[in-house]
Amino acid sequence: MFRSEDLAEMAISSRERKEEVPDNVKLKEVEAVQDVITGIHDIYGEVYREIGFEEAISRPASHENALNKFCHIVMGRIADPPSKKAMVRKLESDFGVSFSLDSVYRMMDLIDDKSVERINAIVRQLAENLLREKIRVVFYECTTLYFESFTPDELKDNGYSKDLKFNQPQIILALMATTEGLPLGYQIFPGSTFEGNTLKSMIEG
């Protein structure tokens, strides 16, 4: 955002600036109570809004609170992608944002198939706009994500595990990206799906 020369000048001027400290303040007795990170929300939050992710969930006007949580979770995962439970704690300690884990799960219930299609369309359009040319070559990758569980269902199921967790159910995450590494879309398949059978569905999607 700034030239290196400008950054250097700002750093120098900030060191030269002398702040007046009231006489009754004893600096040795000053202690930090809490540090709040704001840069992630300021910079990436603006990009998030420009991209159009505020429209990711259907009927956004009716789900303003959920969309707000969705934004905070995205910002938090850009900074550091832990589990959802750890993310709730981290958002409160590092960003001064507080809400319950249950409310995050309720928000995720609103991210249905239409929301995923909308997110994929936004990301694909963004990649095309950045490249300013027709996308002719894409990279395709599949990976397996296992669960700390031994109970399969219609989505998470046992299959060939790249994590060697063959006795634990998993899902298959497929991702398409440009040669520059820009994502074009993703899709989730049942864990027992053969990877070779996923490509056609991704191309058609």
Q: Indicate the domain borders of the chain.
A: 39-109, 134-204
Parallel, antiparallel, or unpaired: how do β-strands 183-190 and 170-178 relate? antiparallel
Are the C-beta atoms of 89 and 98 separated by less than 8 Å? no
Tokens 């599949």 belong to residue: 142
Strands 183-190 and 138-146: unpaired
Helix (H) or strand (E) holding 185: strand 183-190
The pLDDT value given to residue 11: 62
Query: Contact 186/176 with Cβ under 8 angstroms?
Result: yes
Dig out the tokens for 127 from the structure.
Answer: 């990649």
**How does strand 170-178 pair with strand 138-146?**
antiparallel
Instruction: Per-residue pLDDT tens, the chain, 205 aa: give them.
Output: 556 566 556 666 665 555 665 667 777 787 877 666 778 888 888 889 888 888 888 888 888 899 999 999 999 999 888 889 999 999 998 888 899 999 999 999 998 888 888 888 888 888 888 887 778 888 999 999 999 889 999 999 999 999 999 999 999 999 999 888 888 888 999 999 999 889 888 877 6
Whether the full predicted model's pTM is greater than 0.75, yes or no, is no
Q: What b/e readout covers 184-193, taking b as 16+ CB neighbours within 10 angstroms?
A: bbbbebbbbb
Give the model's pLDDT for residue 190: 95
What's the pLDDT at 101?
Answer: 94
Closest alpha carbon to 199 in 183, 178, 171, 175: 175
Taking the CB of residue 194, how many other CB atoms lie within 10 A of it? Answer: 10
**Do residues 174 and 187 lie in contact, with contact meaning Cβ atoms separated by under 8 Å?**
yes
